[in-house]
Amino acid sequence: MTGGTETTVAGFPVRVFNEGGSSRVVVTKPLPGDRWLDILQHAGCRVEVCESPKTILSVGDIAALIGPQCDGVIGQLTEDWSAPLFGTLKRAGGRAFSTYAVGYNNVKVHDATNLGIPVGNTPGVLTDTTAEIAAALALAAARRVVEADKFMRAGNYEGWLPTLFVGSLLQGKTCGIVGAGRIGFSFAKMLVEGHKMDLVYYDLFPQPKLEQYFSAYGEFLKAQGERPVTVRRLETVEAVLREADLVSLHCALDASTHHLIDAAHLRLMKPDAVLVNAARGEVIDEAALVAHLETHPDFRAGLDVYEHEPRMAAGLAECDNAVVVPHIASASLYTRGGMATLAAANVAAVLRGFPAWRDPSDVAPFLEGDVAAMPPAAPSIVNAADLGLALYAP
């Protein structure tokens, strides 16, 4: 993000781009790259980016930034987007909102729908980036990378020993995924192809594309004279937990997945299993996980997300058998830039009266090239159907 002029709005430092723009768009955090700014400016927007050092803005802070007149907002996953803020936006004349995230459990979509406000999100650019962090956590946890790194830096290494930081081998074992959407599929490819793991998965629906992919891969391995990997959909989450040596969670957070992994479910897992969560913290009962880690030293966890972010459950920081990172699964330059592009394209398109893009899983046409030549559509509007928005027909 370069250029713009500095000003103050409701006491917050704000950088303004395209001052004379006809629609006012508030962006609650600076976003990476410049393409998103080009998109909004091309759509005739005056863009006001809040540069407050406060990490999480409150509802009151954002309402103050919205002020008496505002056409659209790009918000963050740390913010409470429900009736009070959507009401403020509506009263200010707001017509468009996009969250800068694919997950939108912090957005009460029905509150926006009730007020006729389309809600955008940013699918399609996080898939491999998020799967890579899940894979990194899986390997780091299984092979005790962080513990060993700390040991080394502390100057404790006195020489090679047969018993030093012995961990678990993933190669050839069983990988389990809970939620076999885009990210789960990508994670499975990394572990099955890279580590020749068998795959078991739980998803509400059978995933024929995924099954065909890994069956064909098994055939390929067989033709090479190697052990063929297998793929199976299991009927329950419990069955996956029992069978897998590595379980990675890739489900959305809703009432049915809140505390999906609790004390009883953890007890079903192998004592030396690895559990990875790069989905949403509330999917795991984190206090129960800490208790399990404390009593099962060979059990390992790799966590990107937490039940009460930004806090971790009491005791988790002391568990050497957990690898913990601060919700960075989407933190690659490609992804964060792409998320900014999609959030801006959502807001710009809605303000220009464009329809919703037909296939939010294929957002490639928005990511590159001249912004003037982008499809005249909003890449992903989650309440498009409820609002009766037209779909883009090229």
Residues that bind ligand DGY (CB under 6 A): 77, 101-103, 126, 327, 329-330
- To ligand DGY, the closest distance from the beta carbon of 77 in angstroms equals 6
Residue 199 or 261: the one with the smaller Cβ distance to ligand DGY is: 261
Q: Provide the token pair at 46.
A: 């005056």
Q: 182-191 b/e with 16+ CB inside 10 Å = b? A: bbbbbbbbbb
Pairing of strands 23-27, 12-17: unpaired
Residue nearest to ligand DGY (CB): 103
Nearest distance in Å: CB 235, ligand DGY = 28
Measure the CA–CA gap between 340 and 121, rounded to whole angstroms: 10
Nearer Cβ to ligand DGY, position 174 or 330? 330
From the list 119, 357, 334, 134, the residue with the least C-alpha distance to 248 is 134
Nearer to ligand DGY, 63 or 378 (CB): 378
- Output 40 or 101, the one with its CB closest to ligand DGY: 101
Query: Phi and psi (nearest 5°) for 54?
Result: -65, 125
Nearer residue to ligand DGY within complex by CB, 180 or 234: 180
Compute the least distance from the CB of residue 71 to ligand DGY, in Å.
24
- The catalytic residues are 280, 309, 327
Cβ-count burial 3-16 (b if 16+ within 10 Å, e if not): ebeeeebeebebbb
Q: Decide whether 321 or 346 has the Cβ nearer to ligand DGY.
A: 346
Minimum distance from residue 221 beta carbon to ligand DGY (Å)? 33
The total number of residues written for the chain in this structure? 394
135: left (phi over 0), alpha (psi -120 to 50) or beta: alpha
Residues 6+ apart with CB under 8 A from 15: 1, 4, 5, 6, 7, 30, 48, 49, 51
Question: Residue 265 or 327: which CB sits closer to ligand DGY?
Answer: 327
Q: How far is CA 227 from CA 174, 187, 214, 379, in A?
A: 13, 21, 13, 42
Instruction: Determine the 3-state secondary structure of 356 from DSSP.
Output: strand
Closest distance of CB 383 from ligand DGY, Å: 17
Closest CA to 201 of 175, 221, 222: 175
Q: What is the 3-state secondary structure (H, E, C) of 77-140?
A: CCCCECHHHHHHHHHCCCCEEEECCCCCCCECHHHHHHCCCCEECCCCCCHHHHHHHHHHHHHH
